[in-house]
Copies of this chain bind each other. A is one copy, B any other.
Amino acid sequence: MPASTVDIKFYLEKIKSLTDALLLRYLPSVDNEPKILHEAMKYSTLAGGKRLRPILAYSAFEYCGGNTDGDDLSIHYAMAALEMVHTYSLIHDDLPCMDDDDLRRGIPTCHKKFGTAAAVLAGDALHDVAFNLLASTGSTKVVVELAQALGTAGMIGGQMADVEAEGKDVTKADIINIHTRKTGALIKASVRIGAILAGASDSELEKLTRYSEKIGLAFQIIDDILDIEGDTETMGKPVGSDVGLGKATYPKAVGIEQAKADAQGLIDDAVVLVNEFDDNVLSELAKYIGQRNN
């Protein structure tokens, strides 16, 4: 196979910048009331982050032949919406009644900065802006896709199971179940929403669904590994916090070497699924997720 012509680092930077511009455009203005809420929403959304979900949506949209020359705003709405719901989930997960985290991406969490009431409401409001944006695509199908990914069968169910599993012994099946819902559901929805907006065929959608399930699980396994072996400065949060909280993690269930091998196996499977073109962004993105260090 020839060397890939995709410069993935440049691509990631480009779509990350586009996402940041879209977030600024679609977040409510901090000059309008309620200013404290609009500031809290902006603070947490623009605090950094890899913008993985918008990048996946955009790449899947492109892969399925979507129009990326800027005439079709639907993918822009979806990209901003996906990052906003991701931010909403982080704000609520960090609350004192949940994980009680003081730092996120190297800066104080939303409730440390703006108070708990404002943090709950800022999360709620991001949730609403996201649905408003997604509905603005004109497709009810993508609204249903997001609502199901976020609900008790998806992200919220995973978060509840995660809280309940703290300090308990968990099997590999338990942890795969938690990861698949808590992180995997939104990653899968990101890929599927991009594909649906591009008008993907059923078979394309089915293939990208399997791709997204593999990279979603690999992403979270690597997250668990980085919490053990990562660098506090690169990560922007203290390493070892999962162990400290008695969190259910994949390495805890199978050991760190097996965790690394399983993550690599998932990445390899994902690459095979999308390799019908010699080189493409989805395949490079899977490899990038396999090699990430923050």
Give the B-binding residues of A (Cβ under 8 A): 28, 33-34, 36-38, 41, 92, 95, 97-98, 115-118, 120-121, 123-125, 127-129, 131-132, 134-141, 143-144, 146-148, 150-153, 156-157, 159-161, 163-164
Contacts and interface: CB of A to CB of B under 8 A. Distances in A.
B97 A120 contact: yes
Summarize A's interface: helix, strand, loop or mixed: helix
Given A140-B140, A144-B132, A124 B28 contact: no
B150 A128 contact: yes
Nearest to A98: B117
Contacts of A153: 28
A92 B124 contact: yes
Contacts of A33: 157, 161
B156 A131 contact: no
Contacts of A141: 135
Given A33-B161, A143-B143, A161-B33, A128 B116 contact: no
* Nearest 4 Cβ contacts at the A-B interface: A132-B147, A135-B143, A97-B116, A128-B151
8 contacts: A34-B157, A37-B156, A92-B120, A121-B160, A123-B124, A129-B147, A132-B147, A135-B135
